[in-house]
Amino acid sequence: MLNNKVILLTGGTEGIGFECAKAYEKAGAMIGIISNSAESIQQASLQLNAKNVHYIKADVANAAEVEQAVQETISKFGKIDIVHNNAGIANPSKALHETNDDEWERLFAVNVKGIYHTTRFALNELKNNKGNILNTSSLVGDIGQEIHAAYSATKGAINALTKSMALDYAPIGIRVNAVAPAGVWTPMLRNWSTQQPNPELIAAYLDGIHVLGYCPEGDVVADACLFMVSDMARFITGCILPVTGGAELGYRKNLYKVNSEKAVTNIG
């Protein structure tokens, strides 16, 4: 599906991003992967074909580092056809008034401004190659989330940004879409689960909020991403694709309580 395509993938060494990297590489793509973690780059490099993958240690919130990463990818593979903006952070899990300035700024710098940086520096390549952009959003960008206001706001911003970008770039042949998961078992979510007052109940809670009855692994999102960046989705743009197991249809947030006042709703 992706033979001879070159993908710039941010946050591609862990969780959903790593599952996407595996799916893209299997489908024939060459991938420039941006990660800010040397350790996760090392771990990922043990599992992916080194011939087809180029790792770049960079922070998507830093314009100069993203510009360099774009140039490195072009130098390595000759072009960029697709940008998948997957890098994101979720901390802190707090109400708005409890979120401090640094936490707010970092969330928006990584989750939203990172998209600005990759688009700014890769746009000419995408224009030349009639490429496309995929952003990783979340169901909470649409329905909100308790005690996670700033994170939810970044995902809502990504949804609006995706649609605006789709309008702006359609005339030059660039599609722009997003995927919006609900709960997905990633290292970040597993770590979060262990920190809850009753971690033994979290798995049942996460299974329960999905109408299909289970919280998936990242491969289900990767399969949807593979379709969206491929030519099979050539007439789809401005779409926020839910990959949620139907969670938005029957959002049962009363299945598990942290305490008498707050429900655990850490999804997406």
Please compute Rg for the chain using Cα positions.
Answer: 18
Closest by CA position to 220, among listed 259, 183, 260: 183
In degrees rounded to 5, what are phi and psi of residue 221? -70, -40
Amino acid symbol at 255: L
In degrees rounded to 5, what are phi and psi of residue 172? -105, 15
Give 7's strand partners.
Answer: 31, 82
Among residues 24, 55, 151, 205, the one annotated as catalytic is 151
Give the span between the Cα atoms of 150 and 103, in whole angstroms.
9
Distances (CA, A) of 124 to 8, 51, 212: 14, 25, 41
Q: Among this protein's residues, is 151 annotated catalytic?
A: yes
Structure tokens at 45: 């490099």
Active-site residues, by number, are 151
